[in-house]
Amino acid sequence: MKNNLLPLGTRDEFGVRSEEKQRIIEVIQRHFRNLGFARISTPIIEKQVVFQPYQLVNSKMYRLLDQEGDTIVLRPDLTLPIARFLSSTSIPLPQKFCYVGDIFRLSRSLSGSYNQLTQAGIELVGYQSTKAELECLINIYDLSREILDEQVTIELGYADFAKIFLDIFTTDVNLRKQVAQALFDKKITEYERLISSFEDQRLYPLLKEWPRLFGEPEDIFQELNQYELPKSVTLRLKKIKEIVLLVKQILPKQQLVIDLSSRAPQQYYTGLTFRGFAKSGEDYIFSGGRYDNLLANFQAQNEPAVGMGIDIDLLTDLCVKKFNRIPKTLVFSSIKNWSKAQALVKKLPNATLSLSDTKADALKEAQKLQAKLIDIEEDEDEFEDSSN
């Protein structure tokens, strides 16, 4: 796909980032529409009670008061409002939904983060089968190749693995929370101090190794096979193994890693979780997982569900940086060869048509844009090579 992007120094001035963001949204919407997903949208303003049961990760909310004195918020998340919406309607389930919308989160001062973020995603509601997780992972694979023209690494985990594993060692809720927090924050010295009281327990060697349980699935499973683990742990590992085998069968080229030492993307997840990272990025673009208990907060009948979110702003930044590494090309021609020049512009990445009247002016234009100049009349050979 051709991307006409201006140099990084001028992209904000010419609104290039905005254009690229809109292009990405259109690609994602078309992708899900072609797969038969139903589009769903919810209000930007929600009652605070929708979000109260969960302490959302990286989420401080914008709070307001309505006319009745109730606290309302600018939504910091899209899955919870969709769950609330589905519980208040008679939409038949199971069903697949897709969405694009803005979320609002107060960021720390000078953190470099946006307070308003655009997120796209899917919610597969009413599906108990592992095929639901598989469909999310296949979409990550397909969209990353279509938009980024590269494959992302998918990281698998399990939402409550930390709690279940620490239950083996202690019933002290506060100690469990402290150990898990040190683990998630990668504070290894603090973590080792907290677990030192479990030194005499059978699985202590694995507990000590836990912060390093990250890597290729085969390596992780080989490490864990050395230990006799309780059923509560093996059941969760079985789910991870199942999805690993399915992905290798359907997407043999997809790179997978397992991380059993990280926090789930959000508290409402109950099963398998996943994140998608690009090699050129510092954070995850895709994230999601299974949340089988979420709708129970809004209705009597529960529904199994799996969701996946896409960070549109991060994806846009990656695309703009990637395609701006392609040198800009300026194509100059006489009116007689205008059609040839336009045809060449359509074929070349990051190219545009010069509107200068003379080649001398076109050279000056190219210098200002730091672009390579192609003259259709003089560079026939290059034009022919590009056309083939």
Q: What is the DSSP string of 170-229?
A: ---HHHHHHHHHHHHTT-HHHHHHHHGGGTTSTTHHHHHHGGG-EE-HHHHHHHHTTS--
Directed axis angle between helix 16-34 and helix 131-143, to 10°? 140
- pLDDT, residue 111, reads 44
- pLDDT, residue 48, reads 85
Nearest CA to 168 among 205, 192, 204, 194?
204
**Stated length of the chain:** 388
User: In this structure, what token pair is assigned to residue 78?
Assistant: 């899209």
Distance CA 42, CA 104 (A): 14
Distance CA 88, CA 298 (A): 8
Name the region of 386 (left: φ>0; alpha: ψ -120 to 50; beta: rest): alpha
Directed axis angle between helix 312-324 and helix 16-34, to 10°? 120
List 249's β-bridge partners, or say none: none
Where b means 16+ CB within 10 Å and e means fewer, 145-179 reads eebbeebbebbbbbbebbeebbebbeeeeebbeeb
- DSSP one-letter string for 68-81: TS-EEEE-S-SHHH
> Between 3.40.33.10, 3.90.550.10, 3.30.930.10, 3.30.590.10, what CATH number should domain 8-150+264-325 receive?
3.30.930.10
Which contacts (CB < 8 Å, 24+ apart) does range 223-231 have?
A: 227/203, 228/202, 229/203, 230/168
- pLDDT, residue 110, reads 42
Distance CA 43, CA 81 (A): 8
- pLDDT, residue 285, reads 95
Residue type, 326: I
Could you give the strand order of the β-sheet that contains 351-353, starting from the edge strand earlier in sequence? 351-353, 329-332, 372-375
Question: φ, ψ for residue 379 (rounded to 5)?
Answer: -110, 50
Residue type, 85: F
Chain centroid, CA 343 distance in Å: 36
Which contacts (CB < 8 Å, 24+ apart) does range 263-267 have?
A: 263/57, 263/162, 263/180, 263/184, 264/157, 264/159, 264/160, 264/289, 265/57, 265/289, 265/309, 266/54, 266/56, 266/57, 266/77, 266/79, 267/54, 267/55, 267/56, 267/57
Distance CA 190, CA 182 (A): 6
Using DSSP's 3-state secondary structure scheme, residue 341 falls into helix
Question: φ, ψ for residue 24 (rounded to 5)?
Answer: -65, -45
**Residue ranges per structural domain of the chain:** 8-150+264-325, 160-257, 329-375
Residue pair 359/335 in contact (Cβ under 8 Å)? The answer is no
Regarding beta strands 372-375 and 329-332, do their DSSP bridges make them parallel or antiparallel, or are they unpaired? parallel
CA distances from 356 to 5, 7, 290 (A): 20, 20, 57
Nearest CA to 206 among 186, 233, 182?
233
Average pLDDT by stretches of 10, the chain with 388 residues: 39 65 96 96 88 66 86 89 85 94 76 76 95 97 92 95 95 95 94 95 96 95 95 96 97 96 89 91 89 74 92 91 72 90 86 90 87 82 52
Question: φ, ψ for residue 118 (rounded to 5)?
Answer: -105, 130
**Whole-model pTM?**
0.78
The set of residues, in sequence order, having a beta carbon less than 8 Å from that of 300 and lying 6+ positions away, is none
